[in-house]
Structure 1
Amino acid sequence: MSRFKRGGKSVDSRAGFKSDKEESPVPYGLLKTARKSGQLNLSGRGLTEVPQSVWRLNLDTPEEAQQNLSFGGADRWWEQTDLTKLLLSSNKLQVLSEDIRLLPALIFLDVHDNQFTSLPSSIGELENLQKLNLSHNKLKELPEELWNLKNLRSLHLQQNELEQIPEGVGRLSNLDDLDLSNNQLTAIPESLGNLRSLIKLNLSYNKLKCIPPGIHSMTSLKLLDCTHNQLESVPSSLAQMASLEQLYLRHNKLRYLPDFPSCKLLKELHVGYNQIEVLGPEHLKHLNSISVLELRDNKLKALPDEIALLEGLERLELSNNDISSLPYALGNLPKLKILALEGNPLRTLRRDLLTKGTQELLKYLRSRVQEPDGQCGERHETALTLPSEAKINVHAIKTLKTLDYSEKQEASIPDELFDTAVGDPVISVNFSKNQLAAVPARLIELKATVSDINLGFNKLTGIPLEFCMLQQLAHIDLRNNLLTSLPAELEALVKLRSIILSFNRFKTFPDVLYLIPTLETILISNNQVGVIDPHQLKHLEKLSTLDLQNNDIMQVPPELGNCTALRALMLDGNPFRNPRAAIVAKGTDAILEYLRSRIPA
């Protein structure tokens, strides 16, 4: 390279052709193209601030206009287009300049995934704005001027730190899509009901305890998502929303379902992970268009026969309830493709039948409907439903090999029940829904044959050491008790495949569970577990389902990603920040993949 000497310093021979200005983080060619197209994409460029040249894009005279050049038809700078679309997402911006007002023609502004804590008041001057994405920032409050954007149709505010939404939101009369999920909202303003053009409203992952009755005024609303809040009820006015098609109420504290007399178009109703105990005919009679009914992880005891009238039903999810029998007419639903029943104490159905899939199960139910009059109803009544005046169901013991003394609210199990079972190979025991403070001592008498024990919904404070003598035990349900620990001796249960410990008082994950290699399912949701040991968990090579929802896990260990046998890992409702809710929502495979990527090399 030829260089000239000047004052003892080397001078680059091409220096005269270089600009004295430092190179801009936004290439000039990009700005030039934006003048023609009206669109500028600056996403993912690591920007800490937006260059002034962007804000003044349609005000300043272009550089080429200062030069004595000839222009082709495509280079006529005086024919530039006003900027209508600006993408600034996934940068490191902490402040959005007041100069945003210099782009009054903007229709679409996307600044998601930055570090904004506030917005400039001048944003209210973008009167043509229709779509505004402010999600994944650190916004704690919103300027009053934001509600002046009368043409706004889509507003995304999810994944911020908002604790309240001002009443002014009701002025956005043209809004059809509003996402307020993953914030810290404890209430929503009554004025939200003024948004009569709104089609989609997402309020999930907040701290809402109620929904204002005025919400029924949203006459165009098709989708309402209130997942993961603290709702104990929903307003009766919700049933008046004639356009509603999808309603998500999962992970709340609902004890009953409202009926929906005016929701003629409702296609999907998701109310899993609540505390619903009763599903009656009045809850179903108006669901004429329903195709998805999701009621998993509630406290349902039975299904009404009227469920067979939901002829459009395609998916019915009832996993992890307390349903002991099914109406046979369920088999006649013409469109039902998915019927999920795992985790229910079903006594009318053989376990092998449940593993054959929905169509085989429906075929079986239809066959029972078609039996001669009186036969199936009589067998269903005598085999599974104890007459109210009888204490002992001898038929169940002799024929079904089941010792059933459930839902009695008794503090003890009568000796005559065990006396009657002497000499019979009892396989299943159901003492749920009583007031037992201790495991009945005589249960050990059944050690040679019993494989399934349900002690859920009692007042047990401990499990006796003698429990380890039940060597045939494969399934045990201890949900809804007062347990804080399990004895180490349970390691001797060499055939144990599933254990349900949900809704107890565990503060630590029971160490003994790490030592039972036959375990396939561990359900320990709704406790106070703070830590899980992934290294010990990996030794459970058959473990496919692990439910840790609604505990106190602050950090999910990356090594948990090595537990590749898991097919269902449930972590919702814990206070950890990573993985993010968006990853958790994608399911087990996505969670495990994310965790593996975080394991230190």
Structure 2
Amino acid sequence: MMNPISELVWQSVLSGNIQLAKDAIQAYTDEHRITPAIFINVKTDNFPKEIERLQYFDRILGLELTLTQADEIPDFVGAVPNLEYITLTCPNVKQVHFSFHKLKHLQTLHISQPQLLEDFDVDLSQCPALVEFWCDGSNWQKMPQGLHLLRRISCWNHPQMQMEWEQIPFTKAEDIRLDYMALRSLPDNPGFFPKLKELSIEGNPIAELPETICNWGELSGIEIDVSKTQIESLPHSLLRTERSLTINLQDTPFERLLSEALATDATECSQSQLKAKQMYHQLRDCAERSAKGDRVKLIVSNNA
């Protein structure tokens, strides 16, 4: 929902009556002694040609554009060089012509439902202020370039996308969400995520966590969501670490095995069930003995 000033700007863009919005902005500035930030949020069938008229307003900081029918997005960023936030919902777009390097102030980029866009061939490192990239619902097979410079990366529902970990060092990433993709493994390099605070890989076909998981991130601890994956067992390094980790194991084979083991006599448990139960209790005992409290916390639906 746009605020009144932003709504007036957009209507002026469509009608061509630019001066009306300029007068309203000036009146607001005179009254409040601050120039209002403008955030445009619009849903339309096709890309509006009138959008070039946005160049008359230098305080447009946010643009949320939903295109229901358009198959192409032309390069319009020259009209809005001060954008800090962009959200594009574009289910039928096949081509994107963006000069992203012109957006020196862009901090957040969100591409939603680009189902017909084969690839997002943009080097995000060309946006010097960018810290956050979101994308959902594509058929892309690879990530855009430049992710290694970002602090927050959120990509989900990309069923064909795998990760070539060695090509994306993630040296600055603090919050990474890679849900419902085609990930089958995680990097085993102990220093791969040096700044990591939160990692979510929900819904991926990953079957195990690397032993180096305890060396990821900052010393203050990290949170890892592996719910709805194929994780059946946990690395033994969790028993030795002094660091704080929280691991969400809901809707995984590990949680199922643990639940079965807790509800079954030990003499009737399978080896996998016993391993899950033993690891769970060992981690709980380690936490109780530690002066720091919980070192490794497991989130499961059924707690012992």
Look up the SS of the partner of 1:247 in the other structure: strand
1:248 to 163, 185, 200: 200
Tell me, yes or no, if the aligned pair for 1:189 and 1:212 is still in contact at 8 Å.
no
Match for residue 40 of structure 1?
Answer: 6
What amino acid is the match of 2:109?
A: L
Match for residue 273 of structure 2?
Answer: 323
Partners of 1:185 and 1:320 lie apart in 2 by: 38
Match for residue 102 of structure 1?
Answer: 55
> Is the alpha carbon distance of 1:235 and 1:51 closer, same or farther for their aligned partners in structure 2, counting shifts above 3 Å?
same
What amino acid is the match of 1:323?
A: Q
Tell me, yes or no, if the aligned pair for 1:301 and 1:323 is still in contact at 8 Å.
no
Matches within 5 A, 1:340-351: 340=300, 342=302
1:132 deviation in Å? 1.4
Match for residue 188 of structure 1?
Answer: 143
Tell me, yes or no, if the aligned pair for 1:213 and 1:237 is still in contact at 8 Å.
no
1:213 equivalent in alignment to 2:166: yes
2:125 to 148, 162, 170: 170
Partners of 1:284 and 1:212 lie apart in 2 by: 26
What amino acid is the match of 1:122?
A: F
Tell me, yes or no, if the aligned pair for 1:117 and 1:138 is still in contact at 8 Å.
yes
2:187 to 216, 235, 240: 235
1:190 deviation in Å? 4.0
* Identical amino acids, percent of aligned pairs: 17
Partners of 1:238 and 1:142 lie apart in 2 by: 37
Look up the SS of the partner of 1:184 in the other structure: coil
User: Structure 2: any 5+ residue segments left out of the alignment?
Assistant: 262-271
Partners of 1:267 and 1:92 lie apart in 2 by: 41
1:53 equivalent in alignment to 2:16: yes
Partners of 1:238 and 1:340 lie apart in 2 by: 26
2:174 to 216, 222, 228: 222
Tell me, yes or no, if the aligned pair for 1:40 and 1:85 is still in contact at 8 Å.
yes
1:200 to 129, 146, 152: 152
2:227 to 248, 254, 272: 272
**1:159-196: CA deviation from partner (whole Å, max 9, x where unpaired):** 33233221422211211121112222211134322x2x
**1:466-491: CA deviation from partner (whole Å, max 9, x where unpaired):** xxxxxxxxxxxxxxxxxxxxxxxxxx
Matches within 5 A, 1:463-542: none
Q: TM-score, normalised by structure 1?
A: 0.39
> Is the alpha carbon distance of 1:274 and 1:302 closer, same or farther for their aligned partners in structure 2, counting shifts above 3 Å?
closer
> Is the alpha carbon distance of 1:214 and 1:124 closer, same or farther for their aligned partners in structure 2, counting shifts above 3 Å?
farther
1:146 equivalent in alignment to 2:106: no
Tell me, yes or no, if the aligned pair for 1:276 and 1:300 is still in contact at 8 Å.
yes
1:122 equivalent in alignment to 2:76: yes
> Is the alpha carbon distance of 1:96 and 1:282 closer, same or farther for their aligned partners in structure 2, counting shifts above 3 Å?
farther
Q: More strand per residue: 1 or 2?
A: 2
Partners of 1:134 and 1:238 lie apart in 2 by: 36
1:226 deviation in Å? 0.6
How large is the RMSD of aligned CA atoms in angstroms?
4.1
Match for residue 265 of structure 2?
Answer: none
Tell me, yes or no, if the aligned pair for 2:191 and 2:216 is still in contact at 8 Å.
yes
What amino acid is the match of 2:226?
A: V
1:157 equivalent in alignment to 2:111: yes
1:232 deviation in Å? 1.2
Aligned residues: 274
What amino acid is the match of 1:249?
A: I
Partners of 1:109 and 1:75 lie apart in 2 by: 19
Match for residue 288 of structure 1?
Answer: 243
Tell me, yes or no, if the aligned pair for 1:82 and 1:105 is still in contact at 8 Å.
no
Tell me, yes or no, if the aligned pair for 1:203 and 1:226 is still in contact at 8 Å.
yes
1:229 deviation in Å? 0.5
> Is the alpha carbon distance of 1:236 and 1:173 closer, same or farther for their aligned partners in structure 2, counting shifts above 3 Å?
farther
Partners of 1:132 and 1:297 lie apart in 2 by: 34
> Is the alpha carbon distance of 1:180 and 1:242 closer, same or farther for their aligned partners in structure 2, counting shifts above 3 Å?
same
Tell me, yes or no, if the aligned pair for 2:248 and 2:299 is still in contact at 8 Å.
no
**1:190-230: CA deviation from partner (whole Å, max 9, x where unpaired):** 4322x2xx2211111112122442432442x2110111001
Higher Rg of the two aligned structures: 1
> Is the alpha carbon distance of 1:320 and 1:249 closer, same or farther for their aligned partners in structure 2, counting shifts above 3 Å?
farther
Tell me, yes or no, if the aligned pair for 2:255 and 2:300 is still in contact at 8 Å.
no
What amino acid is the match of 1:53?
A: G
**1:221-262: CA deviation from partner (whole Å, max 9, x where unpaired):** 211011100111133458422211110112112122122324
What amino acid is the match of 2:97?
A: P
Partners of 2:28 and 2:253 lie apart in 1 by: 70
**1:512-532: CA deviation from partner (whole Å, max 9, x where unpaired):** xxxxxxxxxxxxxxxxxxxxx
What amino acid is the match of 1:88?
A: N
Tell me, yes or no, if the aligned pair for 1:266 and 1:289 is still in contact at 8 Å.
yes
Partners of 1:81 and 1:120 lie apart in 2 by: 33
Tell me, yes or no, if the aligned pair for 2:202 and 2:228 is still in contact at 8 Å.
yes
Look up the SS of the partner of 1:323 in the other structure: helix
Structure ranking higher on relative contact order (CA contacts 8 Å, 6+ apart): 2
